[in-house]
Amino acid sequence: MRSNESRNMGFRIFVDTDVIIDFLIDRQPHAVSSSKIFELCEIGIFDICTSSLCVNNVHYIIKKVIGDVKAREVISELLDIIEVLGVTKVDILNALKSSFKDFEDAIQHSVAVNENSIKSIITRNTKDYKRSKISVFSPDIFIKMIKHERL
C-alpha cells in the first residue's frame, strides 16, 4: 500500500534518476534547473517522489564521481527532502507488458502512475516517455510552467 499523504500543501511529482544526479553532483548545465526543482519543493510548492530503483541507480552513478562514502552522505540528505516509493511486483509486470522501449523507464512510469497523487514525471529523457499515461516534462519546461502558473 502506498501513501498518498503529502508533506506540502501542493501536488506531487515523480523525479527521474537523471534529474536527481544533476542536482546532487552539480552536473552542468543541467544542475541549474534540477536545483530549482528541489528549491521549489523545499518552499512547499510540491512534493518530490522517486522510486527505490532511482535511488539505487543514483548511488551507482554518483559513487563513481564522488566516492561511496560521500555518495551515501548525499543520498541520506536527499531522503530528508523526497519520498521514496517502492517498486512492486505489479510495477515490474506492468513494465514487462508496456510498450516502453526502455525497461527501466517502464518501471519508473509504472511506479509514478500507480501513485494516484503524482501529477507529472520530470526527466531529461522525455522522448522515452512518449507513451506515458501522465504528463512528462523536462526540468526546464516544468519550471517555466510552474512560474507561469504562479504569476
* Local confidence pLDDT in tens for the 151 residues of the chain: 234 444 555 699 999 999 999 999 999 999 999 999 999 999 999 999 999 999 999 999 999 999 999 999 999 999 999 999 999 999 999 999 999 999 999 999 999 999 989 999 999 999 999 999 999 999 999 999 988 776 4
Name the nearest CA neighbour of 17 among 62, 72, 51, 54: 54
Instruction: Return the C-alpha cell found at 147.
Output: 512560474
pLDDT for 150 equals 62
pTM attached to this predicted model: 0.91
pLDDT for 5 equals 46
Please state which CATH number belongs to domain 11-144: 3.40.50.1010
pLDDT for 1 equals 27
pLDDT for 4 equals 40
As to burial, measured by CB atoms within 10 angstroms (0-12 exposed, 13-18 middle, 19+ buried), residue 113 is middle
Dihedrals φ, ψ of 9, to 5°? -85, -10
